[in-house]
Chain A
Amino acid sequence: MLQEESDLSLIIAQIVQKLKGSNLYSQLERQAWASLQRPEIKLESLKEDIKEFFKISGWEKKLQNAVYSELSVFPLPSHPAAPPEHLKEPLVYMRKAQGSWEKRILKSLNSMCTELSIPLARKRPVGEQKELLNKWNEMGTDEPDLSLFRPVYAPKDFLEVLINLRNPNYENGDSLSFRTHLGLIQVPLKVKDIPELKECFVELGLNIGQLGIDDSTQVPPELFENEHVRIGQKVLAEQDSAAAQQYIRQGSPTALRAELWALILNISSQPEDVLYYEQLKTNVIQHDLLVDSLIYKDVKLTASNDDYYFVFEDYLYQVLLCFSRDTSVLSHFAFNSASPPKSYIRGKLGLEEYAVFYPPNGVIPFHGFSMYVAPLCFLYHEPSKLYQIFREMYVRFFFRLHSISSHPSGIVSLCLLFETLLQTYLPQLFYHLREIGAQPLRISFKWMVRAFSGYLATDQLLLLWDRILGYNSLEILAVLAAAVFAFRAVNLMEVTSLAAAENLAAHSEQFCTAPLFPELYRVQIPCTAELRQKEECSLLDSKSHSTEQRS
């Protein structure tokens, strides 16, 4: 059809434009020039011969991976009449809500600035620069006085904003009717129900092998694990991003995970990338930002207190401080409903040539932000690679967890998905918790905002993040949160207060992620397939038995 063809050519033109500015483009050019000396390249069929050369030497695969990466990250081109704000967020009332939330954050930061009389940014004197450079690898030993700093906001503040989100065109009657949402989220976004989730997450079905269940000690490795590892090694040898993304849906073997994630995110450590990281490090040394103190405070409060992550404290500073200076992150605001805060050089208020973004990457960290980086430290030890992986994870996934948008992977949709799943399939539990004043979302919100980092054992968390990468969606977080409630349903029915419910649900370190997915599917099995049901019950009983054994 005419429309589809023109859409396709528009997408192709956009991707070509983006890739032209990239490293890969100049590398391909250089390779093409170099290949002219090869005997098999003939002048008459120059184009075809060079294409063939690219195919054999693996450069075509690199290009394919780059194109696949662009398609995964950037949204499809929108209607020509749509303004840029529409691409960030199509619903006007959500844009407004995000705008007022951002204004609150800016006010909070400004008031902290004036109260403490600390500038937003200052150039470090040379002596201080030298000192910082010397202790770059051990910034954790520094004990600056951070008592006056407070985090700009915490997840629970953000939850209050989401609870108050209203569509002005929606029937928000005071009286309870069929149109009232029983949960905390009151906006009617489209979320998937279990049949749609089953279709979407088909590789997590009971009849398909998973790492996390089928590689446990009771299961002989010949049944699944060996073959899965072999396929993983083959995928890595082929260097195919799309295949890696499909493979990782069943979990990644620990030994292959770091390379698989780098392949899916299309990260290859080139000398230019290391140089870029070094440049960011120089920026950190030269300028001191108020945001740095917020980062220090956050790391000290969260990651340093965590049994799994305190060893990586220095890495976290090295990554997060550089992240704040990275202007390449600004490009993701084209499809993020948030906007980077703006400021002017002192004395040049209102002059556009002196307008800058603050912090340079436009992202103000909140309480718990460093937990996005912490699990990655288990996989990558080289700071520039760790940095690249974190940056890519942030601009693909994590930014959606703390901005107000209608995107299916946005935090609002995840909250609504969680509440809808719970209401539909565990109505008694939902009603009970609501009656005792313990709305389930109040308990699970912090899990989802942090993508369960700090709430699950690291090996389980990495299995979860495997699925986020594999499905290119954060919906799995809401499904897992609902599954945790389903798992603890019997005990939760007996609690009588929010605190007790929180306490019960919070002991999730012993949870194994993978068995919990079929838990939610089990709830929906109709009674007609009795034999199959008995089978699955016994299978799950043995899994929950092994869960208790491990905990």
Chain B
Amino acid sequence: MSRVLVPCHVKGSVALQVGDVRTSQGRPGVLVIDVTFPSVAPFELQEITFKNYYTAFLSIRVRQYTSAHTPAKWVTCLRDYCLMPDPHSEEGAQEYVSLFKHQMLCDMARISELRLILRQPSPLWLSFTVEELQIYQQGPKSPSVTFPKWLSHPVPCEQPALLREQGLPDPSRVSSEVQQMWALTEMIRASHTSARIGRFDVDGCYDLNLLSYT
């Protein structure tokens, strides 16, 4: 399924914490990241991709237009999605994640804003966030190239000439056989082996400098 990247503006994360941030001992366990789409009309969200950085649970809220007249409402589309099975250990801490439309709790049509709510209950980590956030919408279903009129609407009155009477083979059979042969040659051409040859030297020479550090 094709998808199109939607340009977005990711605002800085805001920590939610009870009490005074400066004086309290603990670190915030909840962060909120707002994502806006300044130059794009409300769209249907297809996929969200990001790289996790020590976030344990993710909730997503979207601002959605339900119909043309009512103002946009905030709806929770993902609740407490687990990114790290054990928040105290490294499992899943730096993984790449994709979330799709079908995993969401609500319909993802006409989205104008996104809010990511990150939770990390473990006090062991100094910070947590998500990186490389990318939002995708559905790509066009059919190619956007418009066909010339004569290709999609052939002239109806033309009939194929009856060649069989002239001793020539049936054109549809010939064309299907040619197609099969073409498919076979394409297959053979495409199935190149990925096996290595096994030579470690360059033209028989393996006279080396020192090992390089880069």
Say if A and B assemble together.
yes
Residue contact A22 to B208, C-beta cutoff 8 Å:
no
Interface presence of B88 (CB below 8 A): yes
Interface presence of A153 (CB below 8 A): no
Interface presence of B95 (CB below 8 A): yes
Shortest B50–chain A CB gap in Å is 9
Q: Which residues of A contact B85 (CB under 8 A)?
A: 190
Could you say which of B90, B98, B132, B212 contacts A167, with CB atoms under 8 Å apart?
B90
Shortest B203–chain A CB gap in Å is 9
Given contacts A3-B100, A169-B126, A81 and B49 within 8 Å (CB-CB) = yes
Shortest A180–chain B CB gap in Å is 11
Given contacts A18-B194, A20-B191, A287-B206, A120 and B211 within 8 Å (CB-CB) = yes
Q: Which residues of A contact B126 (CB under 8 A)?
A: 168-171
Q: A450 to B8, alpha carbons, bound, how many Å?
A: 52
Q: A124 to B49, alpha carbons, bound, how many Å?
A: 54
Segment of A108-116, A228-236, A513-521 in the binding face:
A108-116
Residue contact B196 to A327, C-beta cutoff 8 Å:
yes
Could you say which of B49, B123, B208, B213 contacts A346, with CB atoms under 8 Å apart?
B208
Annotate B91-126 by CB proximity to A: 1 below 8 A, 0 otherwise: 101111110101100000000000000000001111
- Which bracket fits the contact residues of A? 35 or more
Residue contact A327 to B199, C-beta cutoff 8 Å:
yes
Q: Which residues of A contact B209 (CB under 8 A)?
A: 120, 343-346, 349
Annotate A15-54 by CB proximity to B: 1 below 8 A, 0 otherwise: 0011011100000000000000000000000000000000
Residue contact A121 to B208, C-beta cutoff 8 Å:
yes
Interface presence of A122 (CB below 8 A): yes
**Which of B187-214 touch A at CB < 8 Å?**
191, 193-196, 198-202, 205-214
Residue contact B123 to A179, C-beta cutoff 8 Å:
yes
Could you say which of B94, B124, B211 contacts A358, with CB atoms under 8 Å apart?
B211
Given contacts A169-B127, A188-B124, A345-B207, A328 and B98 within 8 Å (CB-CB) = no
Interface presence of A135 (CB below 8 A): no
Interface presence of A383 (CB below 8 A): no
Given contacts A106-B213, A171-B125, A188-B89, A346 and B207 within 8 Å (CB-CB) = yes
Annotate A324-342 by CB proximity to B: 1 below 8 A, 0 otherwise: 0111101100000000011
Q: Which residues of B contact A190 (CB under 8 A)?
A: 85-86, 89-91
Q: A169 to B88, alpha carbons, bound, how many Å?
A: 12
Could you say which of B53, B88, B96, B128 contacts A81, with CB atoms under 8 Å apart?
B96
Interface presence of A353 (CB below 8 A): yes
Task: Identify the closest chain A residue to B95 (Cβ).
Answer: A90
Q: Which residues of A contact B205 (CB under 8 A)?
A: 123, 345
Q: Which residues of B contact A119 (CB under 8 A)?
A: 207-208
Q: Which residues of A contact B211 (CB under 8 A)?
A: 106, 109-110, 120, 341-343, 358
Q: Which residues of A contact B201 (CB under 8 A)?
A: 287, 356
Residue contact B202 to A354, C-beta cutoff 8 Å:
yes
Could you say which of B90, B132, B134 contacts A406, with CB atoms under 8 Å apart?
B90
Q: A128 to B81, alpha carbons, bound, how many Å?
A: 66
Q: A349 to B214, alpha carbons, bound, how many Å?
A: 12
Residue contact B198 to A189, C-beta cutoff 8 Å:
no
Q: A485 to B178, alpha carbons, bound, how many Å?
A: 73
Shortest A374–chain B CB gap in Å is 26
Q: A28 to B93, alpha carbons, bound, how many Å?
A: 43
Q: Which residues of B contact A107 (CB under 8 A)?
A: 213
Q: Which residues of A contact B93 (CB under 8 A)?
A: 91
Residue contact B208 to A328, C-beta cutoff 8 Å:
no
Interface presence of A82 (CB below 8 A): yes
Task: Identify the closest chain A residue to B91 (Cβ).
Answer: A190
Q: A347 to B177, alpha carbons, bound, how many Å?
A: 56
Residue contact A79 to B102, C-beta cutoff 8 Å:
no
Residue contact A188 to B90, C-beta cutoff 8 Å:
yes
Could you say which of A90, A170, A189, A344 contacts B208, with CB atoms under 8 Å apart?
A344
Q: Which residues of A contact B195 (CB under 8 A)?
A: 21-22
Q: A66 to B127, alpha carbons, bound, how many Å?
A: 44
Q: Which residues of A contact B191 (CB under 8 A)?
A: 20
Interface presence of A391 (CB below 8 A): no
Shortest A314–chain B CB gap in Å is 24
Q: A312 to B93, alpha carbons, bound, how many Å?
A: 46
Interface presence of A360 (CB below 8 A): yes
**Which of A168-184 touch B at CB < 8 Å?**
168-171, 179
**Which of B52-83 touch A at CB < 8 Å?**
53-54
Q: Which residues of A contact B89 (CB under 8 A)?
A: 188-190
Interface presence of A187 (CB below 8 A): yes
**Residues of B at under 8 Å CB distance from A?**
49, 51, 53-54, 85-86, 88-91, 93-98, 100, 102-103, 123-128, 132, 134, 191, 193-196, 198-202, 205-214
11 A-B contacts, Cβ less than 8 Å apart? A79-B49, A79-B96, A90-B94, A169-B126, A170-B124, A171-B126, A276-B198, A345-B208, A345-B209, A358-B211, A406-B90
Counting from the closest, the 6 A-B pairs by CB-CB distance are A360-B200, A79-B96, A21-B195, A190-B89, A21-B193, A190-B91
